[in-house]
Structure 1
Amino acid sequence: MTADEDDAIESLERLGLTSYEAKVFIALQKLGTGTAREVSRVADVPRSQVYSVAEGLEDRGLIEVQQSSPMQYRPVSTDEARSTLRERFERESDQAFDYVETVREQFGDDHEEQEAIWTIRGRERISDRAADLIRRADESVAYAAASPELVTDAITEALRSCAERGIDTAVLSEDPTVRELFEDEPGIRTDEPDNPHKEDMKEGGPCRGVFVDDDALLLSVLGNGQELPGIDRETAFWSEETNFAKMLIQLAKSTGGPVE
């Protein structure tokens, strides 16, 4: 048995066939038409098992059986087999996910709302999450960053896209080089917020923030301790469509924060 044949058998198994069914099906592709004895020899499947396996393949619509003595088996065309397996896969998938949706509808609303607050670490992962939150803005978005290194291409493109869609878009930073990045971007306003933590940035203070639609936010800080080469110390938490997120955004507004 070749490596390609092994791969084909494994693929057929993932489509729902048993190992013996896959082997018999491929053996019949080689034979064209064959008896249980011939199939057993080519497929390396015990002859006593070929009969029940062939019956299963017939039920699946993958082979045809000639009622002769001895019985002859032959596979359906590859196009028909492909279509049969695809339809079966789609049918099983629909049945499974129909049930999942039913369970979600029946039980999901009965549970208390979970105040999901997620923690992520590492500058690249935090940047990816920030860009994703910005892209999903519908009404307003504010991005606050302590330094230009925190303004990635993906974040810039997400902010630009929001502005083009007419969304209230702002970039805030005490660092003028950050604001200068967006000076010529139409629809993106820049400002220098009143940050009481400005002097604490090197001691674990705020690093950046994303505020979206009054119901989603991300805040990150730089960890305390001595700076070590190659060690990424940025940590963030984010929350979306939770009372926690809404409360923090309203608190930032009431205290003159970046989303005022």
Structure 2
Amino acid sequence: MTVGENEAVEAFERLGLTSYEAKVFIALHRLEAGTARDVARITDVPRSQVYTVAESLEERGLLEIQQSSPIRYRPVSLEEAQETLQERFERERDRAFEYVDDVKHESAGEETQEDIWTVRGRDRVDDRVVDLLSSGEERIVFGTRLPELVTERIERTLEERAASGATVLAVSRADRVRDRLDSLEGVVIDLPPPSRESDQRSGRIVIADDDAILLSVVDDDGGETAIWSSGSLFASVLVQLIEAGEEVAASSETE
């Protein structure tokens, strides 16, 4: 592949050089050695800027300065330049990732970062639903009002968790959904609270044990967006709030 000068300059910039530094370095390799006037003649770097740029390149170990009149500059060999830039890159890389590794383990006092995630798209929500259902060891709740949101993978996972000994509860008011879920071995069917009868936006709900939850909504165009959390205080509290709300609704219905 043939690389043009502009591409080479951009590549040097990504390695940490300025545009002028890259152009002066390239020009000096064309000249093998030269003065500021020589460099300015074959680049768009102003002669007045060549002196400052050359000093910077010397500090980087990429050229040598001959104290003559006029001052002359000579670049280091390509092999030496490659080694110098590589060492610098590795040094800066190590410094950056060392810092990230340190702060990753720092305590933020009494505050904790809760993992609350958003996932968009029917297929991606499907995958997350199956993952959360599979993680439930003692108790699983799955609910939806839409038959198309009950996939074969979800049905299979619900049966597998029931067979493993987990309590599996499927919740829906839609007859088609209830019929499908009722045919699953070991899955118990229940109705959602009456307060949700007019709901036209909800997608799916998943609760796995007491610390994993997913809630999704269906957009006007049929797309699905979900928030989910697992193993977090947020998930535990939200599960408790949902279940407390359902108990209150069920109590009101019987009164």
For residue 76 of structure 1, what is the aligned residue in structure 2? Answer: 77
1:170 Cα deviation after fit: 7.2
Identity %: 45
Deviations 1:172-217 (A, max 9, x none): 574555788xx8xxxxx76243232599577337532334564332
1:245 Cα deviation after fit: 0.9
1:17 Cα deviation after fit: 1.1
CA distance in 1, matches of 2:178, 2:226: 20
- Taking structure 2 as the reference length, the TM-score comes to 0.63
For residue 204 of structure 2, what is the aligned residue in structure 1? Answer: 208
Count of residues paired in the alignment: 232
For residue 236 of structure 2, what is the aligned residue in structure 1? Answer: 246
1:81 Cα deviation after fit: 3.1
1:27 Cα deviation after fit: 1.8
CA distance in 2, matches of 1:136, 1:71: 71
Deviations 1:9-42 (A, max 9, x none): 2332232212211111222343343333222222
Stretches of structure 1 that go unaligned for 5 or more consecutive residues are 184-188
For residue 46 of structure 1, what is the aligned residue in structure 2? Answer: 46
Q: Secondary structure at the match of 1:88?
A: helix
For residue 253 of structure 2, what is the aligned residue in structure 1? Answer: none
The answer to whether the 8 A contact 2:182-2:189 is kept is no
Q: Secondary structure at the match of 1:61?
A: coil
CA distance in 2, matches of 1:218, 1:76: 59
Alpha carbons of structure 1 residues 190 and 57: separation in structure 2 relative to 1, 3 Å: farther
What amino acid is the match of 1:59?
Answer: E
For residue 213 of structure 2, what is the aligned residue in structure 1? Answer: 217
CA distance in 2, matches of 1:10, 1:217: 47
- Taking structure 1 as the reference length, the TM-score comes to 0.62
The two structures, once aligned, show a CA RMSD in angstroms of 4.7
Q: Secondary structure at the match of 1:22?
A: helix
Q: Which moved more, 1:203-212 or 1:245-254?
A: 245-254
Alpha carbons of structure 1 residues 221 and 18: separation in structure 2 relative to 1, 3 Å: closer
Q: Secondary structure at the match of 1:208?
A: strand
For residue 13 of structure 1, what is the aligned residue in structure 2? Answer: 13
CA distance in 1, matches of 2:98, 2:195: 55
Q: Does 1:109 align with 2:108?
A: yes
Deviations 1:34-80 (A, max 9, x none): 33322222222122322332222122222344556652412421x54
What amino acid is the match of 2:231?
Answer: E
Q: Which moved more, 1:194-203 or 1:209-218?
A: 194-203
Q: Secondary structure at the match of 2:108?
A: helix
Q: Does 1:150 align with 2:149?
A: yes
CA distance in 1, matches of 2:182, 2:30: 69
CA distance in 2, matches of 1:222, 1:42: 62
